[in-house]
């Protein structure tokens, strides 16, 4: 599937103050491994971890926003060095509270989500992005639908798009 961009979008770092990532279905492939003792585990993509560091170098803040209650969300956030807001019932409410507290204009927020519980938050921000395997309703409202599926380099692909927008990709040799 080719990347679908519905209209011109500004992905330069100057246009983005915050990137918000859903966890399951964006950073993971939306599956969970449940062990006999009830412990849960997920798979993440190491290229996304590298991409998060590249975005940090651009000066863009990033957070994870998830309804997931499992501690794996917080563990991954610690590993990659970004805040996690999880165990939330209403993502839109949590996003608004965070942006108000941090004095971030919602128009300068990029939200990456994949399922219907992301819809309202995605509609409230300046730019929304969906993985290729996102729910159809999410893909309909997303400004960009990526080629990558959840857990398969979504953040890495987004980083390349940001680098392309900066026209630095050839200078730094990332692609």
Name the DSSP letter for residue 89: S
What's the pTM value of the predicted model, to 2 decimals? 0.91
- Parallel, antiparallel, or unpaired for β 18-21 and 61-65? parallel
Q: Looking at the domain assignment, is residue 124 inside a domain?
A: yes
Domain that holds residue 28: 8-146+157-163
Coarse DSSP helix, strand, coil percentages of the chain, rounded to the nearest 5 percent: 40, 15, 45
Q: How many domains does the chain have?
A: 1
Per-residue model confidence as pLDDT tens digits over 92-111: 999 999 999 999 999 999 99
Look at residue 170 and tell me if it is in a domain: no
- Asked if residue 80 belongs to a domain, the reply is yes
Q: Is 114 domain-assigned? A: yes
Residue 65: CATH number of its domain: 3.40.50.1000
Mean pLDDT of all residues in the chain?
Answer: 91
Q: In this structure, is residue 58 part of a structural domain?
A: yes
In a domain, 126, yes or no: yes
């Amino acid at each position: 599937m080719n990347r679908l961009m519905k209209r011109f979008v500004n992905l330069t770092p100057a246009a983005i103050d915050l990137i918000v990532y859903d966890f399951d279905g964006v950073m993971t492939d939306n599956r969970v491994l449940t062990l006999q003792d009830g412990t849960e585990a997920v798979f993440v993509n190491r290229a996304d971890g590298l991409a998060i560091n590249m975005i940090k170098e651009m000066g863009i803040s990033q957070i994870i926003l998830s309804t997931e209650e499992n501690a794996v969300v917080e563990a991954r956030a610690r590993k990659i060095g970004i805040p996690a807001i999880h165990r939330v019932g209403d993502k839109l409410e949590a996003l608004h509270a965070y942006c108000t507290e941090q004095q971030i204009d919602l128009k300068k927020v990029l939200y990456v989500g994949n399922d219907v519980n992301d819809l309202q938050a995605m509609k409230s921000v300046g730019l929304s992005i969906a993985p290729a395997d996102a729910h159809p309703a999410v893909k309909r409202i997303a400004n960009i639908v990526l080629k990558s599926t959840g857990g398969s380099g979504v953040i890495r692909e987004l980083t390349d798009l940001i680098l392309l927008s900066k026209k630095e990709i050839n200078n730094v040799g990332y692609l």
